[in-house]
Chains A and B, each alone.
Chain A
Amino acid sequence: NAGVTQTPKFRVLKTGQSMTLLCAQDMNHEYMYWYRQDPGMGLRLIHYSVGEGTTAKGEVPDGYNVSRLKKQNFLLGLESAAPSQTSVYFCASSLPVASQPQHFGDGTRLSIL
C-alpha cells in the first residue's frame, strides 16, 4: 500500500540548475498538490491540480511549474533554481470531497547552493 511516493528524497543543486520532482499516487485521487515547508512558515501551497491535464497556482507559485499528464502523477519543476527555493517539498493527494483528508508523501529535501 504505497499511497503517495515522492522521488527523489534528497537533492543538492547549484544555483541556476533545473530539476523535476516526481509525485505518484496509487489511490486514484482526483486532486494533487505541491507544498513547501520552511521553518516558521508552516506549509505553503505552490500549485495544485483538480484533474488530469489541469493545474492551478497556489499561494507561492513563482519560480515553479507543474504538469499533470497522467492522473496518478504530478510533476514539480524548477527551471532555474535559486537559494530561496531551498526547502522541504511535500506532495499530497485527495478525493474531491471536503470531508476527506489529504494524504502526504514523505517529502523531498532540496538544497540550492
Chain B
Amino acid sequence: GNSVTQMEGPVTLSEEAFLTINCTYTATGYPSLFWYVQYPGEGLQLLLKATKADDKGSNKGFEATYRKETTSFHLEKGSVQVSDSAVYFCALRINSGGSNYKLTFGKGTLLTVNP
C-alpha cells in the first residue's frame, strides 16, 4: 500500500535557523506530493505541492523537491520565524483507479521556533 514517513519531532529551532523536515514515501503508483501546515487551533492549510518528478514546490519561503529516485519530498526553509511554529504534515495522493480520493498523511512534525 501507500505510506508516508516523516520525522516526528518535535523540532525546536531558534529564529533564523535553517529548517529541514524529512519526508519519504512508498506508493504503488505515481503520486502527487503535498505539504500541509496546521497552526494552533486551526485546520490544515496547503503549504506547497509537486505533481511530478523533479518539480519544486515553494510558498512563504518553504521549498520541497519531488525526488523520485529517493522517494522523498523534504521540506526546507532557509530562515525560520516564530510565526512558522506549527505542525507540518507530508501527504501523497495517487491516481489509481478508484482510489484517487485518498490522501495519505504522515503523522506530522511539531515545529517550535524560539525568538
CA distance A98 to B96 in the complex (A): 9
With A42-B108, A104-B43: A98-B31 Cβ-Cβ less than 8 Å: yes
| Range for the number of chain B residues in contact with chain A | 20 to 34
Tell me if A74 counts as interface (CB < 8 A to partner B): no
Q: Which residues of B contact A43 (CB under 8 A)?
A: 44, 89, 105
Question: How many A-B pairs with Cβ below 8 Å?
Answer: 59
CB distance B102 to A45 under 8 Å?
A: yes
A interface residues, how many (CB within 8 angstroms): 25
Q: Quick one: which of A33, A98, A103 contacts B32, CB cutoff 8 A?
A: A98
CB distance A106 to B32 under 8 Å?
A: no
Contact residues, A33-79 vs B (CB, 8 A): 33, 40-43, 45, 48, 50
CB distance B42 to A107 under 8 Å?
A: yes
